[in-house]
Amino acid sequence: MLGIAAKAGKVVSGEFATENAVKAGKAFLVVTAADASENTAKKFRDMTDFYRVPLVVYGTKESLGGCIGKDYRSSLAVTDEKLAEAVQQKLKL
């Protein structure tokens, strides 16, 4: 699902772009890698709590980047509401 969202242009990745999407109100879901640094993990936990954006921890930096056809990524944001819901449903399985 993350790959589909990325091909549709509805994913921003990387710490800076993810942070900007959340603060701009464009992020409907934030995904961080399980092996992201504690600093990064805390930053996004606090930010998503404040802006009331769902946060999911998934896979490694390598697998998270691979899902969207990129190299290592410790964070990404889905910027489409329906795609964000679909990703959340898939990750709950």
For residue 30, what are the β-bridge partners?
A: 55, 77
What pLDDT does residue 91 have? 82
Q: Which of 92, 46, 63, 56 is nearest to 77 (CA)?
A: 56
Rounded Cα distance, 8 and 74, in Å: 20
All structural domains of the chain, each given as residue ranges with its CATH number in brackets, are: 2-92 (3.30.1330.30)
- Model confidence, pTM: 0.94
Q: Where are the alpha helices (DSSP H) in 12-58?
A: 15-23, 38-51
Where the chain has pLDDT below 50, the residues are none
Rounded Cα distance, 22 and 17, in Å: 9
